[in-house]
Structures are given as structure tokens and as C-alpha cells.
Amino acid sequence: MSEKIISRTSLIVNIAIFAFLGICLLFLPVESIHFFCLILKSLLAFTGAMQILTCILKRNNSSLINGLFMMLFGYFIHYFQEAFLTFFPIIFGLYILLHSVAKIIHFILNRKRSLKDQLITLLWGITDAIFSLSFLLQPKGNIGNLTILLGCYFILMSSTYLYDLLRDIFPKVDIFKKRKIRFSLPVIFLTFIPYTVLTKLNKLLNQNVTVVSIKDKPVSQNVDLEIFIHVKQKGNGRFGHADVCFENKVYSYGNYDRSSFQLFESIGDGILFEISDKEKYLNFCMHHSKKMLFCYGITLTSEQKEKVRNQIKKLKSNTYRWYIKAEKEKHELEEFSDYPSILYDYTKAKFYKFKRSTFKIYFLLTTNCVKLVEYVANAVGMDILNINGMITPGTYYNYLEGEFKRKNSNVITKTVYHEHDVNDNPFSKIKS
């Protein structure tokens, strides 16, 4: 079966599933809730029984604990269904409250950046706070409202997949080239997608199956722009990182100045770094940072390439050079343990801070690494507007993966980079 058929079939299945779920939640809310609980407790009972059976056959105590927990949870849902259902409005309320806090903090940071016309961000934050409190204070009374909201959202998600299907079938129609808001799964689900893929690929590598490069699409065009999605096995790296490469130069944005860290390192001075050698940067990420990178190659027209150049030029015009310790003090690398100095030693990266722009202050939930990718992608019409205002590396991975599978997309290659041999590690003598 060709990739084109697989991609379109997947889109059609998603359209049908989310449309069906949305219609059921809107017009048959009670029946849908009861059916959901029936399916969930049945799955828990079956899985729990299988875990206990595994314990008996293989004498695995952890399987016994997991099995008993699942059986008890299924029992709880069966006999205390109403109490169980009140958890969902609470979870939804907490999720909306997180968005509210992110918007309000974003508004405060924008005031510090001296950016104008940000009142709408504050108003959205206050609205979200009021909305979330209504669910948190009266969870039981809002179960019906939640089913309506979920029903509407699933139908909007179905419309997003329908748009993608039509865009794939009619790529030359102008209406499908315009920017649009995407309705996708909540950020909390998309955030861990790169880590999940990393785990699966690591299992293959442990089985001596080489996964170095995936280029399933025949390539006749050149790769002009690359987007890297990073992920690692431990720590904050599980949430991922994203940056771009254009004309062999890598551009990345993040929070690298320790002296500016605030709120558990989630806020700080926004810093752009530029590296003129892509291969050195990839080696650094793989061997020093122990990351796996998913690289999506994009082909551009001459006009689009010029737009990207202008976008990057515009970005850098509002910056000034920031000199890290290794540049200022000129000592041996062993005396520096900070990430920017180690990166500089191997790649000769140049670091920049911003004078006045939305990038001036880094904020983990809004103005993060993906903001730079989105900024560059705007120039080539790949920008995606997420309805919740928060975009993570997982969100972009999910978007790029879908674009790569579409026949008529300009995302033409996908390559996976990972550390092949620790004996070849060029950082074995570096302390970090």
C-alpha cells in the first residue's frame, strides 16, 4: 500500500472517529458517559486479570501489584461511578487554570518587554481563570457542560483533519495555503510524543536494529530548511527542544543565562545562538547531551528562501552579542561547567540577547524554543496557530510528522540522529 493511501486513510479514520465521538457527546451525553465507563472498567478488569496471571506464571511481584491496582480501580468505577466522573471536571478545571496562569504571566512579561496591545492576553487569562473556577468549585454540576465542550472540540478536531485531507487532495487551491487555527489534542498529551518515540526506537537499538535515518519519501527536490526536534531519556530533556537550520547555520532559542533564572528556571533572559557548522552541532547534541534528534527536511521555492533570509535578518537586527564565560575569560574548558561555554568550545556558537521584542524574556509555557521555529516557519506558510496558545516541541513534532506523510507536502525528508558508538564520543574528556 502506498504512503499516499496510508496517509489519506489515516486522515479519513481520524475524521470519522472524532466526528462520531463529538456527535455522541452532544446528542447522547448520558449514554456516551455510561458506555465510556463500561469500556474503561472492562479494560481494567481484563488487564488486571492478565497481570495477576503473569505474576502466577512468572512469579513477578510487580505484576501482582499492578494487577490488583487495576482490579480495584475497575471496582471503584463500577460501584462509585458518579464520584469517579466528578474527577474529569476537576482535571479539566486545573488544565484551564494552567492556561490562565500562563497567559497572565505572559502578559506581565510582555509589559516588562514594553510591548503594546497585550491587554487581550490579560483578558483571556482572567476569562480562563473564571471559567476554570466554575469547574473546580462545582465539578458534579458541570459534568453535562463538559460533555458539550468535549463534543464541540472533537467536531472541531474532525474539521481540522478534514481540512488536511482536502489540502492533500487539492494542494494548488489558494484557500488551503492560508494560515489557520489547528484543533489538536491537548498540549499535555502532545508534550510526551517525542519521548514515547525515543523509547520505542531505543528498544530497537538495544536489539541491534540500526535506526540511523528514515527517508521513506523519494526525494527529487533539495532540502533547504531543517527543523530539529530534540529529546533525551532523562530530566527536562523528555519534554524536548526545537531549533532550525538554514543554509547550514543552526539557530536556537532558550534560557541559557543562569544569572537571569527565575521561577525554577522557567523564566530568564531570552538568548539566541547561531552555529555555522550543522554537523558539529549534531555531534554535540548526540554525544554530549545524549539526545536523539528528529530532523525534518523542507524544500522551499526561491521566493520562500528569500523570505526566510529576511525573517532571520529581522530577528538578528534586534539583538546584541552576549559573551559567555569561555569567551570573556579565555581559560581552559575544564574550568567551565556551564552549558553555553561547553557548546561554544566545540561549535564556536555565537550568543545573542534581545534589545526589545517578544523574545527578550524567555518563558517556558509561551515564549520558548518552539517560538523561534514558529517565527521562521511563518515565512514559508508552515505556521500553525494552536487554539490554546501553547505550542510545545511535541506539538510541532506531531505537525511535522503529519506533513511528512502527506504526498503533496513540502516536508520531504525525515532523519533520526542518535549516538552510535560511545567510544567515538568526542566529549569523553569534558566534565559537565
pLDDT value of position 177: 58
Using the CB atoms, write b or e for 107-145: b if 16+ within 10 Å.
Answer: bbbbeebeeeebeebbebbeebbebbeebbeebeebbee
Q: What is the pLDDT of residue 55?
A: 81
Tell me the whole-structure pTM to 2 decimals: 0.80
- The whole-number average pLDDT for the span 413-428 is 62
Question: What does the pLDDT read at residue 334?
Answer: 54
Residue 209 confidence class, pLDDT cut points 50, 70, 90:
very low
The whole-number pLDDT of residue 385 equals 55
Angle of helix 143-169 relative to helix 29-58, nearest 10 degrees?
A: 90
Cell of 431: 566534565
Q: What percent of the chain has pLDDT over 70?
A: 81
pLDDT score for 356: 83
pLDDT at 351 over 90: yes
Cell of 371: 517560538
Residue 6, Cβ density class (10 Å: 0-12 exposed, 13-18 middle, ≥19 buried) = exposed
Are residues 252 and 359 in contact, defined by beta-carbon separation less than 8 angstroms?
no
* Average pLDDT of the residues in 273-299: 91
Query: Taking 50 as the threshold, does the pLDDT of residue 208 lie above it?
Result: no
* Sign of the C-alpha dihedral computed for residues 9, 11, 14 and 18 taken in this order: negative
Instruction: Find the range with the poorest average confidence among 197-201, 274-278, 361-365.
Output: 197-201
Cell digits of residue 262: 527565575
> In the predicted model, is pLDDT for residue 115 greater than 80?
no
Q: Is the pLDDT of residue 15 over 80?
A: yes
Taking residues 271-283, report their average pLDDT: 94
The arithmetic mean of pLDDT across residues 81-87, rounded, is: 90
pLDDT in the model for residue 429: 33
Q: Which tops the pLDDT comparison, 414 or 206?
A: 414
Boundaries of every domain in the chain? 3-156, 179-424
Q: What is the mean pLDDT of residues 115-123?
A: 78
pLDDT at 431: 30
Answer yes or no: is pLDDT of 423 > 60.
Answer: no
> Residue 210: is its pLDDT beyond 50?
no
pLDDT reported for residue 145: 92
Residue 430 has a pLDDT of: 34
| pLDDT category of residue 184 using cuts at 50, 70 and 90 | confident
Average pLDDT, the chain: 83
424 pLDDT above the threshold of 90 = no
pLDDT at position 110: 84
pLDDT computed for residue 229 by the predictor = 93
Residue 245 burial (C-beta neighbours within 10 Å; 0-12, 13-18, 19+): buried
Banded model confidence at residue 64, pLDDT cuts 50, 70, 90: confident
Count of helix runs (H) and strand runs (E) in the chain: 15, 12
Q: Is residue 204 scored above 80 in pLDDT?
A: no
DSSP 3-state of 348: coil
Average pLDDT over residues 39-62: 83
Alpha-helix runs per DSSP H in 317-430: 325-329, 339-347, 369-377, 393-405
- Confidence category of residue 239, pLDDT binned at 50, 70, 90: confident
Q: Are 81 and 37 in contact (CB under 8 A)?
A: yes
Q: Which residues contact 164 (CB under 8 A, 6 or more apart)?
A: 11, 402, 406
- pLDDT category at 281 given cuts 50, 70, 90 is very high
Most confident listed range (245-254, 262-271, 386-395): 245-254
Instruction: State the average pLDDT over residues 86-97.
Output: 92
Q: Which of 7, 27, 30, 9 is nearest to 19 (CA)?
A: 27
> By three-state DSSP, how is residue 23 classified?
helix
**Given pLDDT bands bounded at 50, 70 and 90, which one contains residue 426?**
very low
Radius of gyration for the chain, computed over Cα atoms and rounded to the nearest angstrom: 24
* 286 to 282, 360, 393: CA distances (angstroms): 6, 29, 18
